[in-house]
A and B are shown apart, each in its own frame.
Chain A
């Protein structure tokens, strides 16, 4: 398979079309949705950039917290949810809150990098 243009380039091209060509011709509700669409593509671009390394880090932390290896991240997260739901892990579990904080900071860096709560968390 080839990648010229790459997924990133294609998304950038569509985003530029929305921002520079389509959105200026729209009004009202459609203009609002064009802005949301452009923001959604910006999210995808950040995800392409950030997710691979962030998810690898998340997986390593989950494996260490749960003492399990060789499972996909989603399965590990389901295991973690179960540990918390049944009370085997909680706020007093060493490493749990720092793990959740790191994961959420990475997630927000993709989803809403300008969110006020992200600045508070970094302090």
Chain B
């Protein structure tokens, strides 16, 4: 983990180049969350203006060889640039710091004001107007993300539905813990797989928690670490997975909207015309994936890698995904 002393000096040196001599780094603070990357908030005071900024940095400035498919910080910065050009609201990137530099592997972006906590966005009065706009905003943002020309992007992992089934089934079987509901989901997904789509840029974790929402609606799309090329329906369905409705189950889209409206906004912004029945398959895959991820987190306790009570307890959240899958199976007839 980086200390503020370790990064304040190289950050000040960068600020003096970018904003001019006399620019001062202030209020540098490590933000919580984001286990795989460091996220810091800071201000730069320069010529009477205060710039609110964020530093995203590899732990200790050095990217570990990670087994996950998470993209590098340089790729994340490139994606922010490319999606901004396609009209997606994302933070402006001011600087990309290469591995081995004084700051380490990192990038600096503008800090967008707003809320990321799902429960607040869904319940607080200040987001009343935003909630009426979020479905449309998300549909448009997703259509624009999926329209980004892949040719101009850094190399991204490719992961279609069948790749994800294979990956998560192998992990699930590795645990040797029988879960008949997951077994049914794997079998059903394989038996009912849709024709693969032409791969597009997929955000990979587009949901409340990773979206900055302000009083007017969607402010910025964050957390591009899981970006890959794949099926556009994956992103649409992930936003619908009940785990990301934060208790507001009756609104299928993120707890704030209805799927037909999202699909209309998506098609209206130039995206393909998808049907709710198509999204069912991907939402089942999404719930199953999150269930296996909860098993992975519990696995970290079981193997002793992370002996915290939090990792142990998360194993008792797997049943949340099981009931979501059962509710989805029961609902299949409604969209047939």
Residues of A within 8 A of B (CB): 32-33, 36-37, 39-40, 43, 74, 77-78, 80-81, 84-85, 87, 90-91, 96-97, 100-101, 103-105, 107-108, 110-112, 115-121
Indicate whether A107 sits within 8 Å of B184 (C-beta atoms), given known contacts A33-B309, A100-B326.
no
Indicate whether A111 sits within 8 Å of B247 (C-beta atoms), given known contacts A77-B180, A87-B187, A91-B329.
no
Q: Does B36 contact A (CB under 8 A)?
A: no
B327/A112 in contact, CB under 8 A: no
A-side contacts of B150, CB under 8 Å:
none
Indicate whether A117 sits within 8 Å of B310 (C-beta atoms), given known contacts A100-B326, A108-B320.
no
Residues of B within 8 A of A (CB): 178-181, 183-184, 186-188, 191, 242, 245, 247-250, 308-310, 312-313, 316-317, 319-320, 322-324, 326-327, 329-330, 332
A85/B309 in contact, CB under 8 A: no
Q: Could you list some 29 contacts between A and B, CB below 8 A?
A: A32-B310, A33-B309, A40-B312, A40-B313, A40-B316, A74-B178, A81-B179, A84-B183, A87-B191, A90-B191, A91-B329, A100-B181, A100-B322, A101-B326, A103-B180, A104-B319, A104-B322, A110-B316, A111-B316, A111-B317, A112-B316, A115-B323, A116-B242, A117-B249, A117-B324, A118-B323, A119-B249, A120-B323, A121-B326
B-side contacts of A120, CB under 8 Å:
242, 249-250, 323, 327
- The residue of chain B having its C-beta at the shortest distance from the C-beta of A114 within the complex is B247
- The residue of chain B having its C-beta at the shortest distance from the C-beta of A93 within the complex is B184
A-side contacts of B320, CB under 8 Å:
108, 111-112, 115, 117
Expressed in whole angstroms, the Cα–Cα distance for A78 and B312 within the complex equals 23
What does DSSP make chain B's interface, helix, strand, loop or mixed?
helix
Shortest A121–chain B CB gap in Å is: 5
- The residue of chain B having its C-beta at the shortest distance from the C-beta of A62 within the complex is B180
B-side contacts of A74, CB under 8 Å:
178
Indicate whether A116 sits within 8 Å of B178 (C-beta atoms), given known contacts A104-B326, A107-B322.
no
A-side contacts of B327, CB under 8 Å:
117, 120-121
What does DSSP make chain A's interface, helix, strand, loop or mixed?
helix
Instruction: Other than A90-B187, A108-B320, A111-B319, give 8 A-B pairs with Cβ distance below 8 A.
Output: A80-B178, A96-B184, A97-B326, A100-B326, A105-B323, A108-B322, A112-B317, A121-B327
Expressed in whole angstroms, the Cα–Cα distance for A84 and B180 within the complex equals 8
Shortest A30–chain B CB gap in Å is: 11
Indicate whether A117 sits within 8 Å of B329 (C-beta atoms), given known contacts A40-B313, A80-B180.
no
Expressed in whole angstroms, the Cα–Cα distance for A40 and B324 within the complex equals 22
B323/A84 in contact, CB under 8 A: no
- The residue of chain A having its C-beta at the shortest distance from the C-beta of B187 within the complex is A84
Expressed in whole angstroms, the Cα–Cα distance for A43 and B187 within the complex equals 31
Expressed in whole angstroms, the Cα–Cα distance for A112 and B308 within the complex equals 19
Shortest A39–chain B CB gap in Å is: 7
Shortest A74–chain B CB gap in Å is: 7
A85/B183 in contact, CB under 8 A: yes
Shortest A95–chain B CB gap in Å is: 13
B187/A117 in contact, CB under 8 A: no
Instruction: Name the contact of B309 in the complex, choosing from A37, A101, A103, A118 (C-beta under 8 A).
Output: A37
A-side contacts of B179, CB under 8 Å:
81
Shortest B8–chain A CB gap in Å is: 23
B-side contacts of A36, CB under 8 Å:
309-310, 313
A116/B247 in contact, CB under 8 A: yes
B324/A100 in contact, CB under 8 A: no
Instruction: Name the contact of A85 in the complex, choosing from B187, B248, B316, B332 (C-beta under 8 A).
Output: B187
